[in-house]
Structure formats: C-alpha cells, structure tokens
Amino acid sequence: MNKHTEVLQLQELHEVESGLNTRISEIYDYPPANKIAERLFDLNDELNLLLNKRANAVGLNIKFGAVPVDTSHLNNDDFGALIRGEINEHGEKL
C-alpha cells in the first residue's frame, strides 16, 4: 500500500472509529455480555494504539480513541462551568 492510499484509509477509519466504542458500550449494557465487551474494549485500545502509530508515521494529525480533557488545573467552580459549557478546558469563557 502506498502512503497516499494509507492516508485515505486512515482518514476513513477515523470517521468510523468513535462509533466502535459506542457499539461496544451498547453490548456491555447487556449483562450476559459484560466480560466479552470488556475484552472488546481492550482490543479496541490495542487497535487505537496501532492506528495512532500509523497515523503519526504517515504525518496525519489525527488521534484515534477517546482523548480525555485535562481538568487538573481547574478548581471546583471552573470544573462546573466546563461541564455546563460556559468555559473551555483552558478556562476561557465561551
């Protein structure tokens, strides 16, 4: 596979990747499937690591997987404002 083809394929995968976590979560909500869904989450994490590595290798500025917002610098009031959508993660008013 050439670089151009891989870039296009990674971009397409990035569009659908977030839906995978949603589907696994729906499976997890069915109690008899909890343990299998947990393994699927682990496999998805492994897949995201691989996809991020390949995206970096071909120069794409995309991130696969959930990227949590760093809120460690926010006080309780600011964290509440972030949750309500009043400020962004940098403390800037929206």
State yes or no: pLDDT of 94 exceeds 90.
Answer: no
C-alpha distances (whole Å) from 2 to each of 6, 39, 69 are 6, 32, 34
Question: With helix as H, strand as E and coil as C, how does 11-79 read?
Answer: HHHHHHHHHHHHHHHHHHCCHHHHHHHHHHHHHHHHHHHHHHHHHHHCCCCCCCCCCCCCCCCCCHHHH
pLDDT at 68: 67
pLDDT tier for residue 67 given thresholds of 50, 70 and 90 = low
| pLDDT tens track for 1-37 | 899 999 999 999 988 887 888 899 999 999 999 999 9
Average pLDDT, the chain: 89
